[in-house]
């Protein structure tokens, strides 16, 4: 029997390790591979033959792995150049050396493209190695799959923050303290995370990268809300931009006195506009930054379970020797109750396009999303796994890249 290899790439999420856990568990239930190798720090580490043996992971470790945020196998910024024979050959040689038949590659858009390129190259050169992709990205911007593992947990955190900070915003009477609160989320090209906040029911103004920013319209809407309520809750995606493509965030707020440009961020740009226009006397910005993609203290159960099952599905499908250049994903079943079907399809259909929020879901005047948008997001953030706690915080697996030198 041959072996298999798992690697992670790109920016981490809260549930990226649940997919690793799913592959490992599937192989324990049906050991079609002798050894399940974890490749450390992505392609970079694999090219250096840095591996961790995941085969016999205990059930408890498997469970803790599912609640460990960030990539336990490590990540890298190294990109295999398309059709770079040297790198491709070197990877295949290493797979051969370790008798690795298949690589499960967990990542976002770029990684799914790599899966496509590697499998095409292998086929072309008559090499029997196989390459399969498992999606993950808080950005939720992959095609084909209904949504991406990692998005739902980040969205759940965003909503929890919105509700709690909305309560905080309102604690002083609006007459005595009129104020705008601005929450900035990740999402450079697609506004899914910012958009997810609408299900909280607390968002007055939603600024997405899907719609070219119109300053006058934005300020008019904030003013309207302030006139009505004396408080205004704004959510903005980091990628919000003007019609000419320039980011709000790039409207350089500042210079730090040492010549470094200090990007104020989209939230600060909106704050400055609001104060300058006199639409509100006070505005506060909260940038969720890194915390939102690793908030394992409020994972979505739906997200964790689907990520795990996608790993299982990828493993189980690999019994078919024709299975390469494929990516697994979920498709929502029709009907009132949320349920998904697990699918697999050609990697090139998942990658290389950014899936935006559909234009028809976006309400005019920064007013949020339609009911269809709400219905898409709400079921994804439901449920909470029973976390194993240690010293007052969620227990985590010490990253494998730290356990091997």
For the segment 337-376, give every residue that binds its own copies (CB under 8 A).
Answer: none
Size of the site for its own copies (CB under 8 A): 78
How far apart are CB 77 and its own copies at their closest, in Å?
6
Beta pairing partners, 284: 181
276 binds its own copies (CB under 8 A): yes
Query: Among 59, 124, 171, 371, which residue sits at the site for its own copies (rule: CB under 8 A)?
Result: 171
Largest CA distance in the chain: 74
Query: Among 289, 320, 365, 403, which residue sits at the site for its own copies (rule: CB under 8 A)?
Result: 289
How far apart are CB 82 and its own copies at their closest, in Å?
21
293 binds its own copies (CB under 8 A): yes
What one-character DSSP code corresponds to residue 297?
G
First to last CA, the chain: 28
How far apart are CB 379 and its own copies at their closest, in Å?
9
Query: Among 82, 358, 402, 403, which residue sits at the site for its own copies (rule: CB under 8 A)?
Result: 402
Output 275 or 343, the one with its CB closest to its own copies.
275
3-class DSSP state for residue 89?
A: helix
Give the C-alpha separation, 238 to 247, whole Å: 8
Query: Among 114, 296, 312, 313, which residue sits at the site for its own copies (rule: CB under 8 A)?
Result: 296
45 binds its own copies (CB under 8 A): yes
111 binds its own copies (CB under 8 A): no
Query: Among 164, 246, 365, 403, which residue sits at the site for its own copies (rule: CB under 8 A)?
Result: 164
Q: Is 139 a catalytic residue?
A: yes
Stretch that binds its own copies, among 108-116, 185-193, 236-244, 292-300 (CB under 8 A): 292-300
Catalytic residue among 113, 116, 139, 204: 139
Stretch that binds its own copies, among 86-94, 124-132, 152-160, 319-327 (CB under 8 A): 152-160
For the segment 191-230, give every residue that binds its own copies (CB under 8 A).
Answer: 199-200
User: Pick from 220, 249, 227, 250: which is nearest to 237 by CA?
Assistant: 249
Beta pairing partners, 135: 107
In degrees and rounded to multiples of 5, residue 402 shows phi and psi of -90, -15
Residues 6+ apart with CB under 8 A from 291: 157
Residues tagged in the binding site annotation for Mg(2+): 109
401 binds its own copies (CB under 8 A): yes
167 binds its own copies (CB under 8 A): yes
388 binds its own copies (CB under 8 A): no
Give the C-alpha separation, 72 to 65, whole Å: 8
Stretch that binds its own copies, among 95-103, 110-118, 159-167, 204-212 (CB under 8 A): 159-167
User: Pick from 117, 134, 49: which is nearest to 79 by CA?
Assistant: 117
Residues tagged in the binding site annotation for diphosphate: 11
Beta pairing partners, 247: 241
Show the tokens assigned to 393. Answer: 């915080």
Half-sphere exposure of 177 (CA within 13 A, CB side): 9
Cα R_g (the chain), whole angstroms: 23
Output 114 or 159, the one with its CB closest to its own copies.
159
294 binds its own copies (CB under 8 A): yes
Query: Among 85, 93, 168, 339, which residue sits at the site for its own copies (rule: CB under 8 A)?
Result: 168
Output 300 or 324, the one with its CB closest to its own copies.
300
User: Pick from 264, 254, 255: which is nearest to 182 by CA?
Assistant: 264
CB-count exposure of residue 191 (10 Å: 0-12, 13-18, 19+) = buried
Alpha carbon distances (Å) from 308 to 96, 135, 188, 231, 314: 28, 12, 27, 41, 10
Number of Cβ within 10 Å of residue 31's Cβ equals 12
For the segment 46-75, give every residue that binds its own copies (CB under 8 A).
Answer: 68-71, 74-75
Indicate which residues carry an active-site annotation: 139
């Amino acid at each position: 029997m041959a072996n298999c290899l798992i690697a992670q790439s790109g920016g981490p999420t809260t549930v990226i390790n649940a997919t690793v856990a799913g592959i490992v568990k599937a192989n324990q239930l049906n050991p079609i591979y002798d050894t399940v190798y974890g490749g450390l720090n992505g392609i970079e580490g694999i090219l250096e033959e840095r591996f961790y043996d995941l085969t016999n992971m205990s059930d408890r470790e498997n469970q803790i792995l599912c609640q460990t945020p960030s990539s336990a196998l490590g990540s890298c910024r190294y990109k295999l150049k398309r059709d770079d024979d040297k790198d491709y050959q070197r990877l295949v040689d290493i797979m051969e050396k370790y008798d690795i038949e298949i690589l499960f590659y967990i990542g976002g858009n770029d990684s799914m493209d790599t899966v496509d390129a590697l499998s095409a190259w292998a086929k072309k050169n008559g090499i029997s190695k196989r390459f399969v992709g498992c999606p993950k990205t808080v950005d939720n911007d992959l095609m084909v799959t209904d949504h991406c593992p990692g998005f739902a947990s980040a969205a759940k955190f965003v909503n929890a923050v919105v509700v709690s900070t909305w309560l905080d915003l309102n604690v002083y009477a609006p007459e005595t303290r009129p104020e705008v609160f601005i929450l900035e989320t990740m999402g450079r090209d697609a506004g899914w995370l910012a958009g997810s906040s609408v299900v909280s029911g607390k968002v007055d103004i939603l600024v997405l990268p899907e719609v070219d920013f119109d300053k006058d319209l934005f300020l008019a809407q904030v003013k309207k809300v302030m006139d009505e309520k004396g408080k205004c809750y704004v959510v903005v995606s980091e990628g919000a931009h003007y019609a000419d493509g320039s980011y709000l965030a790039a409207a350089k707020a500042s210079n730090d006195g040492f010549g470094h440009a200090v990007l104020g961020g989209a939230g600060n740009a909106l704050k400055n506009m609001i104060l300058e226009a006199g639409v509100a006397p006070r505005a506060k910005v909260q940038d969720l930054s890194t915390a939102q993609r690793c908030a394992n203290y409020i994972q979505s159960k739906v997200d964790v379970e689907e990520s795990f099952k996608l790993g299982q599905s990828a493993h189980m499908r690999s019994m078919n020797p024709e299975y390469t250049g494929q990516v697994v994903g979920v498709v929502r079943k029709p009907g009132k109750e949320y349920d998904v079907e697990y699918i697999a399809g050609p990697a090139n259909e998942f990658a290389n396009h950014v899936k935006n929020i559909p234009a028809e879901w976006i309400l005019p005047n920064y007013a949020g999303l339609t009911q269809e948008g709400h219905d898409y997001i709400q079921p994804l953030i439901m449920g909470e796994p029973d976390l194993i706690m240690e010293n007052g915080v969620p227990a985590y697996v010490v990253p494998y890249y730290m356990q091997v030198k």
